[in-house]
Amino acid sequence: MFERAEARVDLERIAENVKYLKEIAGVPVMAVVKADAYGHGLVPVARAAIEAGASSLGVALLEEALTLREAGINVPILAWLVPPGSDFKAAVDNDIELAASSIIALEQIGAVTSNKRPRVHLEVDTGMTRGGFLSEWGQLDAHHVSNIDIVGIFSHFARADEPGEKQNEDQRIRFQEMVATLESFGYTNILRHLSNSAATLKDLDSRFDLVRSGIAIYGLSPDVHTLGTSAALGLKPAMQLRAKLHLVKTVPAHTPVGYGATAHTQSETKLGIVAMGYADGIPRVAQGAGVFVNGAKAPIIGRVSMDQFVVELGIDSTAKSGDWVIVFGDGVTGEYTADDWGAASGSINYEIVTRIGSRVNRIYAPHVY
């Protein structure tokens, strides 16, 4: 067992978050497990979410969906970033539902030779101006969908984490108009889904037949500034990231630290070298975060390196080489959080958890905190 750094994931907390979201949504929950379940581990998280009541799983990539099937997971899976030219036959043969946002995608999916019919969710652009039908929407006709089953229609909010924004209402109205167009063609028994985590938590009018929850099932706030913290939203962060102090040493005042000598100690102090770096997902630009050790915060000093970063422990610290330190947790005992690290690197908690590299062991244990 390599003991350098580990991401400890509490699957019980993920299950609790799924149950909570299902309760407040009042409709089925699609657990979004793309990007290795936001860094928490694709297959273990998927299983925990299903056991907690998630009705389906959402992924970005076809390979993510195939990995879930290979693991024996049999619930509906939607893959929504499968571009033209992909192996649509593998998706159809494995009962993977596909998003289509262009006529060429529909034509290629419909051309698949299989003993199963393709199951497709039409993605429509209601204002995100990213994926989804827009100008081609009016060109759709019966022959484009003659060999497939349309089972859903969906879109994605651009500003659901800003509940007062008019664009949310505009997108919901546009979505309803596009749904009505599809229903006029006879597709009335299909899943309508628009809500992401933020809308699941705050937008009753946008829940429709299904909600897609990603960041919230991991216990993290979609936006701490506009929606509040995890605790305020009733969510429980599921990951604790920790690492070992490779070295602790005392240095004099005015000692330069790290590449470029961008920081200097102000007085005699103890420094701790943490055995993680940007190769493990620690943002190189992070300033203002750090680690939690012996009941106190120790901030980063100097630049983050590829495999390590330095924290200032203080002259009175009793930390020693080989000690575990918490890089981030749920914040209850005073440690830094994924939100803190996001702010310290000019980013968001999503990026902090999803960028944790494969060199970091994932440990699945109840009661991480």
**What is d(CA 289, CA 338) in angstroms, rounded to the nearest whole number?**
10
- For residues 228-241, one letter each, b for 16 or more C-beta atoms within 10 angstroms of the residue's C-beta and e for the rest, the string is bebeebbbbbbbbb
From the list 22, 38, 244, 259, the catalytic residue is 259
Q: Are 285 and 247 in contact (CB under 8 A)?
A: no
Say if residue 299 is exposed, middle or buried (CB neighbours under 10 Å; 0-12, 13-18, 19+): middle
Quickly count: other Cβ atoms within 10 Å of residue 153's Cβ. 27
Sign of CA dihedral 109, 72, 367, 28: positive
Catalytic-residue membership of 336:
no
Which two three-digit tokens encode residue 289? Answer: 């975060």
Residue 295 vs residues 244, 245, 292, 318, 327: alpha-carbon distances, Å: 15, 15, 7, 11, 13
Which residue among 34, 236, 244, 270 is the active-site one? 34
Taking CB atoms within 8 Å and a gap of at least 24, the contacts of 100-108 are: 101/125, 101/131, 101/132, 101/133, 102/133, 102/136, 103/136, 103/139, 103/140, 103/144, 106/140, 106/144, 106/145, 106/148, 107/144, 108/84
In SS3 terms, 235-257 reads as CCCCEEEEEEEEEEEEECCCCEE
* Sequence-separated (6 or more) residues with CB below 8 Å from residue 223: 161, 162, 198, 348
Which residues, 6+ apart, have CB-to-CB distance to 154 below 8 Å?
A: 99, 121, 122, 123, 124, 191, 192, 193, 194, 212
Is residue 259 flagged as an active site residue?
yes
| Residue 114, phi then psi, degrees to nearest 5 | -155, 160
Sign of the C-alpha dihedral computed for residues 110, 112, 115 and 120 taken in this order: negative
Q: What is the set of active-site residues? A: 34, 259
